[in-house]
Amino acid sequence: MTIAIIQFGGSNCDLDVLHVLQEVLNVDAELVWYKDNNLDHYDGAIIPGGFSYGDYLRSGAIASRTPIMDSIKRMADSEKPIMGICNGFQILTESGLLDGALTTNEYPKFKCEWSYLRVETTDTPFTSRFNKGDVIRVPIAHKDGNFYSDEPTLTKLDDNQQVVFRYVDKNGQITDEANPNGSHENIAGIVNEKKNVMGLMPHPERASESILGTTDGLRMFQSMIDHISK
């Protein structure tokens, strides 16, 4: 099993994800520069966080139009798991692989802090190691994380159980105070209809070792590996 970690100019969480996969989980993972356009021999991919192309035009807009995204789309069509973290989530929405858009935080400031998330579904390749309703702690670090979509799309996401994580307080309640960026319905992460492509704003790779305060994020990577190993 080998997982591809996609690097664009300006990606900056790529080495953290590589560390978690290789050192913490002992899984084969490779950094793949965006000019490599064949991902057929990888079993899954992670698009890490950062500021690809300096967030020019819109966060994720330029990266989502690079040729490697055709390979990512092929990988998505072949139902291999793909996880986009933070800027990776923005790239996936900009590419049309995920619904909605990530717009500027309601209070337009870069927020770097811990957030509580509630696991809304375990029926995805990224959340099988959780229980539905689990409240986990994973940090955020973004200025453009305000999830927006029109009402019909929100309804579809809810009806198909495509919302994976919501921002909650530590008791698991959805409140305005627990919403760090103004996201519609406190949405922190979603999957596509086939559920093999997930995007989320929080950084699970920063919550994957006890020395960092929690291993809640690690379970997302473990779930993904379980899914590939099946």
Partner 1 sequence: MHYCAEVTIELKSGMLDPEGTTIKRALGHLGYQTTNVSTAKKYLIEVDEESRDIAEQKVDEMCQKLIANPIIHNYTIELRETQ
Catalytic residues: 86, 203, 205
Answer yes or no whether residue 192 interacts with partner 1 by CB under 8 A. Answer: no
In the numeric block, which tokens belong to residue 130? 């959780």
Whole-number minimum distance, CB 102 to partner 1, in Å? Answer: 10
Cβ distance to partner 1 smaller for residue 172 or 182: 182
**Of 89-128, which residues contact partner 1 (CB under 8 A)?**
94, 100-101, 103-108
Answer yes or no whether residue 54 interacts with partner 1 by CB under 8 A. Answer: no
- DSSP secondary structure string for all residues of 81-93: -EEEETHHHHHHH
Whole-number minimum distance, CB 113 to partner 1, in Å? Answer: 18
**Residue 151, SS3 per DSSP:** helix
- DSSP H or E segment with residue 201: none
**Of 171-190, which residues contact partner 1 (CB under 8 A)?**
182
Residue 84 contacts by C-beta under 8 Å, 6 or more apart in sequence? 46, 47, 90, 91, 92, 98, 197, 198, 199, 200
Whole-number minimum distance, CB 37 to partner 1, in Å? Answer: 19
Binding partner 1 (rule: CB under 8 A), the pick from 65, 132, 170, 194 is 65
Whole-number minimum distance, CB 14 to partner 1, in Å? Answer: 24
Residue 144 contacts by C-beta under 8 Å, 6 or more apart in sequence? 55, 58, 59, 90, 102, 103, 104, 105
How many other C-beta atoms lie within 10 A of the C-beta of residue 110?
10
What residues line the site for partner 1 (CB under 8 A)? 57-58, 61, 65, 94, 100-101, 103-108, 146, 148-150, 182
